[in-house]
Chains A and B, each alone.
Chain A
Amino acid sequence: MLNNEDLGSLLRRCDEIEESFCVEIDAVSTLEELVELERRFLGKGGEISSVSRQIAGLESDDKRTFGQRIGSLRQRIEDGVSQSKIELEAEETSKREEQEAVDLTQYLVFIDTPKLGSLHLVTQAKQELEDIFVGMGYQVAEGPEVETEWHNFEALNIPKFHPARDGQDSFFIDHPDGDYGSLLLRTHTSPMQVRLMQSGELPIYAVIPGKVFRRDTPDARHTPNFHQIEGLVVDKGITMGHLSGTVGAFTKAYFGSNIEARLRPAYFPFTEPSAEFEITCTVCLGEGCRTCSSTGWIELGGCGMVHPNVFSAVGIDPETYTGFAFGFGIDRLVQMKYAISDMRVFLDNDVRFLSQFKGVQ
């Protein structure tokens, strides 16, 4: 057994190592230097391991003392290294962040930053209306734009030469007449009512949105194609009270609880009794203004109890079932809501117009 050094000199050696570590760790400025320093003191064949090897030549009591000293020295160095590592890493991170700094506002305004597109105002209104009726337990039905004269007129109690055909000048299609007469571009969404009723599934609670066509020269309030939505309810025990209540409920749901609806007598061949429905003027809330010609009310659409002749045409017994229908123009509604002065803007698809109404409305 060799006894090259006594305990005292070994402990002194340990103190020297500690001192030299303390000096060197302060000089470390990069993570690479720290790794090198760590290797020199803690690595294989490093300072600690070479001095620890001397333990073999000590007495057992001294071994314990020396062992403890080695332990504390190792701890001291390890703490120093990890402390330094944290500091160096933090320094490095902040340096990198400084280098990578950018002006974020530029990304908001770059020419190729992705932009949100937009849904057409008519689509937005249509979907909102559909949602209200879906919430009331209605289905949404859509039908063809090219219709037969029978579905568009005859089945709806509008025979040839009926005065009501005057107001609905139609675009007829150059096509041989079929079983249901000539073809035409539907002048209202009502032919789909006929198809729904013909399908024989009762009761019916449905709304029908869609594009319709009138042979009108475009002006500020008319375009040759526009959109309507209409509702149809056919069930046992349906009364005009239901019509009035339902129109009122829908009006509040769409326009707000401060908007009332009222019915006044009108004439449509496919309903009787028929009514126009008016709502509280949404501009002045009933006070009277230019929009409502000082009446406090604006006309929204037509409605009424399904005419018994319509039921007979589609094979529903009018003594068993009654029903109501109502309808109005979506484009007109949008025109009112957004104060659009001229309807013809819908014909142009001007990007500057379309892109105004996107995202949350």
Chain B
Amino acid sequence: MRVPLSWLVEYLDLSSLTPYQPFTATFSDAFIDEVTEGLNELGMVVEGVERVSTGLDNVVVAEVLEIEDIEGADHIRKVLVTSDESEPVTVVCGAYNFEVGDKVPFAKVGAVLPGGFAISRRKMKGITSNGMLCSAKEVGLAEDSAGLMVLPEDLSTGALFGEAIGIFDDVVYDLAIEANRPDANSIIGVARDLAPRLGVSFVPPSWSKDLRPSEERDLLELEHSEIVDPDLATRATLALLEAPLRLKESPKIHRRLRLAGMRPISDVVDASNYAMLEYGFPSHPYDYDKVRGGGIRVRVATEAEELRTLDGSLRQLLPSQGGHSGDIVITDLSDTPIGLAGVMGGESSEISASTTRVLLELIAFNRKAIARTSKRLNLRSEASMRFERGVDPAATISVLHRICDLLSTEPISIFDFGDTDPHRRTVEVRVSRVREILGVSELDGRAISLLLAPIGFEVQANGDLLMVRVPTFRPDCETEIDVIEEIARHFGYKKIQGEVAKSPYVGRLTDEQKVQRQLRLLLRDLGIHEAITSTLYARHDHQEVGVEDHPLEVSNPLSQDEVALRMTMLPGHLKALSYNLSRRIDTFSFFEIGRVVSLGESLTYDGLPNERVRVAALVSDKENGAERATQLLSVLLDFFSVDPSVLYSQPSKDTLSSRYGRFPVLHSGRRGGIYDHNGEVLGVVGELSPQLTKRVVEPLSKFRYGWLEFDLEAMLSLSKRAKEAQEISNYTSTDLDLSFEVPESVSAFEVVRLVREVAGELVSSAQVFDVFRSDKLPQGTKSVGVRLRLERLDRPLGERDIKEIIKEAGAAASTELKGTLRDHK
């Protein structure tokens, strides 16, 4: 809402504020700031303060004394004018629409007009022009104009032009009005709310004349108008005005409309818009002779109706269906739609220069009905916005009055129907509750009443209970808490004494939150950067990483690239990878802890899909992404205290989905799956598939990328954290290296597991130190070297212990692995 200060102060009695001289002086900086602060503290947030000058400093009212042709010039004439100087001056002028005796705006030498055009002394065809006679456009009062602006005769010659026509330098406040303040979408509403903050009185508008419709004419048709569905509107005031209708003080009205962000259109529309800005109540003019039957109806659109609106579009109207109410329309008495109520008028009944009678419609429409229609058609206007927030049903007569006043007319007929005396809601408010909510003990019934009275709330006190009558322009105030907010606003939020709320709890993070933090630090310390990737992807992004299941999809995406909710974190990291590779950055690793979601029931929340917290990492390596990723997994298994036996190498891709969601399909020769005790996959590790490497990586880098992704909760559930300290041996440990010749199909991990089983309690660690293949080994076999660290708690390890282990390892290798123990035969 743009509020010109000159307009606002028309409704404030500033006589108590000194020094203040309305209209003749510019506003002082202190006053402008005080208004800004007041508006902000009342929640009408000032988003901008614009100082607007008229640009009319050296423009005066001049009277034309003589007009002479110039020899040899067809398009200019020599004009003698008198203004505020002792002697008349000569001006060369190209307009022909004026006569001797006319009064016109005269820009003297030195004037800088609103468009930035500086006036200097010029010579044309030998004649010196001492300034310029101006058109309405040149003085900033019209978008377009033909010829000079000929002024009313009663303006005094030599007067400052701006002052004479009622426009001044001004200040415009750009206010953000909240949805619960329909009253503040109007100049009067802002003034009413601001007045007590400034310590001044609010001056409600008044008019010189009463509305007295002429009773001579018989216009019974108008009284056939009706609100067909009472849910759509509560009150209607219709008035007939007789053309021609002329806007009085039009330069002032036009300027204010412009300052408020609206464009002047025609005298009737401008009057309607001006009154809307002032009161917050929109009205709509119809060409009465084009309204069939002479009356209107408010109803919901029916099947197959259409309407050409003022913007020229033919709109298909939506009837009610399946419990949803349809578009709200205005029809004539032949029941043909002639307007989208409160949203946009129809073309067929638009007023024009030939209109002889104007039907003015002021209807208090239902908020929701207008919201539905304007939202459905995506048509937002100053009018629909105000109806959606709620207009004051009591205001129709005042607004009509104002419009008539602006057009210097009286209605020839008025039909006011529906709820013509809107009820003022009474809300019970307890003083004790006000204190409980605000924490302000000094507020009593009297103090509350003093805060509420200036903004139109009447308070009747009865001990703790206050009966508060809410003004009709505050439809948002329905309950006690709504009134308490008004009390708080006018008491002043900053006067509420702050006190820290004391929690009875000792704050702490949950175990899972702590693990997440430690995990983040671990990954960071391993040199990995944390990324945060998007949740939404294109449909094919999942297929590309081998996840074929149907994802959850957004029904109203912004683009087709952001439709599918991620089921795995890989698509986001591929995008980040591409982005960085294309900037020649290839040595980096990313990790992310975030949520994925797939179809299926949530294991935590009823009625929600299966949303899980995942840990993922993308790691780079010169030749083997799987090695890097699996090394990272090894550190993480250590971190989580999870036994390495959860990893299976080269799992089939059918096993990569489980209650924990879906996992991407990696390089079939370089991937592993992590499985829980029930054989459900909870994670994957390995290298990006060759297709992905080929498409994303190879054009830009020779690196290989490894991927690790697992379900955090499932991983934690496998954790076997030591509950108590383990005893350590007092005796020196012994290392024993055993090399096995085993078939290719036997994994290194199986060899280690076998050795561990054989050595039992004596093993403190078992690691592979070497895997090799050679011509000297039989075809299809490999050698796996395992280093055991052995110790006993009860005594030093003896020769016999070691011989025993070697013997059993040899036997077990041949029976369980179809292999042999080398060197120790």
Which A residues are closer than 8 A to B by beta carbons?
Answer: 114-120, 122-123, 127, 130, 133-140, 142, 144-148, 161, 163-164, 166, 171-175, 178-180, 183, 185, 195, 203, 205, 211, 213, 215, 217, 224-225, 233, 235, 237-249, 262-267, 272-276, 305, 307-308, 322, 324, 346-352, 354-355, 358
In the bound complex, how far is the Cα of B585 from the Cα of A16, in angstroms? 79
Interface status of B639 (Cβ within 8 A of chain A): no
**What residue in chain A is nearest B481 (Cβ atoms)?**
A272
Report the minimal beta-carbon distance from A292 to chain B, rounded to whole angstroms.
13
Pairs of residues from A and B, 9 with the lowest C-beta to C-beta distance, nearest first = A265-B43, A239-B439, A137-B503, A241-B439, A245-B498, A267-B178, A134-B507, A349-B576, A205-B503
Interface status of B228 (Cβ within 8 A of chain A): no
Report the minimal beta-carbon distance from A209 to chain B, rounded to whole angstroms.
10
User: Hey, which chain A residues are within 8 Å of B440, CB to CB?
Assistant: 241
Report the minimal beta-carbon distance from A3 to chain B, rounded to whole angstroms.
57
- Chain A CB within 10 A, most for which of B40, B479, B507, B597: B507
* Chain B interface residue bracket vs A: 35 or more
Interface status of B243 (Cβ within 8 A of chain A): no
Interface status of B517 (Cβ within 8 A of chain A): yes
Contact call A352/B585, Cβ cutoff below 8 A: yes
In the bound complex, how far is the Cα of B180 from the Cα of A267, in angstroms? 7
Contact call A249/B517, Cβ cutoff below 8 A: no
- Chain A CB within 10 A, most for which of B368, B375, B489, B503: B503
Contact call A354/B531, Cβ cutoff below 8 A: yes
Given A241-B438, A244-B498, check contact A205 B505 (CB 8 Å): yes
In the bound complex, how far is the Cα of B505 from the Cα of A178, in angstroms? 36
Cβ-defined partner of A346 (8 Å) among B372, B501, B513, B532:
B532
A and B contact pairs by CB, cutoff 8 A, 25 listed: A116-B527, A118-B530, A119-B524, A133-B507, A139-B510, A146-B552, A171-B536, A173-B552, A205-B503, A217-B558, A235-B501, A239-B436, A239-B437, A240-B438, A242-B498, A245-B498, A246-B500, A262-B493, A263-B493, A263-B496, A264-B45, A265-B493, A267-B180, A273-B485, A324-B501
Report the minimal beta-carbon distance from A104 to chain B, rounded to whole angstroms.
21
Given A163-B389, A173-B552, A213-B535, check contact A348 B508 (CB 8 Å): no
In chain B between 568 and 598, which residues have their CB closer than 8 angstroms to a CB of chain A? 575-576, 579-580, 583, 585, 588-591, 594-595, 597
Report the minimal beta-carbon distance from B101 to chain A, rounded to whole angstroms.
51
For the A-B complex with A119-B521, A273-B438 known, give 17 more contacts whose Cβ atoms are closer than 8 Å. A137-B504, A163-B179, A172-B556, A173-B555, A174-B552, A185-B554, A205-B507, A224-B534, A233-B501, A237-B436, A242-B439, A245-B499, A248-B498, A248-B500, A308-B479, A324-B501, A351-B580
User: Hey, which chain A residues are within 8 Å of B595, CB to CB?
Assistant: 144-145, 211
Report the minimal beta-carbon distance from B583 to chain A, rounded to whole angstroms.
7
Given A148-B608, A265-B43, check contact A185 B585 (CB 8 Å): no
In the bound complex, how far is the Cα of B436 from the Cα of A123, in angstroms? 37
Contact call A145/B611, Cβ cutoff below 8 A: yes
Interface status of B766 (Cβ within 8 A of chain A): no
Given A178-B607, A217-B558, A241-B439, check contact A272 B485 (CB 8 Å): yes
User: Hey, which chain B residues are within 8 Å of A351, CB to CB?
Assistant: 529, 580, 585, 588
Interface status of B265 (Cβ within 8 A of chain A): no
Interface status of B494 (Cβ within 8 A of chain A): yes
Given A175-B552, A265-B489, check contact A183 B609 (CB 8 Å): yes
In chain B between 239 and 273, which residues have their CB closer than 8 angstroms to a CB of chain A? none
Contact call B481/A307, Cβ cutoff below 8 A: yes
Given A224-B536, A348-B576, check contact A119 B530 (CB 8 Å): yes
Report the minimal beta-carbon distance from B653 to chain A, rounded to whole angstroms.
26
User: Hey, which chain B residues are within 8 Å of A211, CB to CB?
Assistant: 535, 594-595
Cβ-defined partner of A161 (8 Å) among B372, B489, B535:
B372
Given A172-B554, A348-B576, A350-B580, check contact A275 B529 (CB 8 Å): no
Contact call B526/A117, Cβ cutoff below 8 A: yes
User: Hey, which chain B residues are within 8 Å of A247, CB to CB?
Assistant: 498
Interface status of B557 (Cβ within 8 A of chain A): yes
User: Hey, which chain A residues are within 8 Å of B45, CB to CB?
Assistant: 264, 266, 276
Contact call A349/B389, Cβ cutoff below 8 A: no
Report the minimal beta-carbon distance from B579 to chain A, rounded to whole angstroms.
5
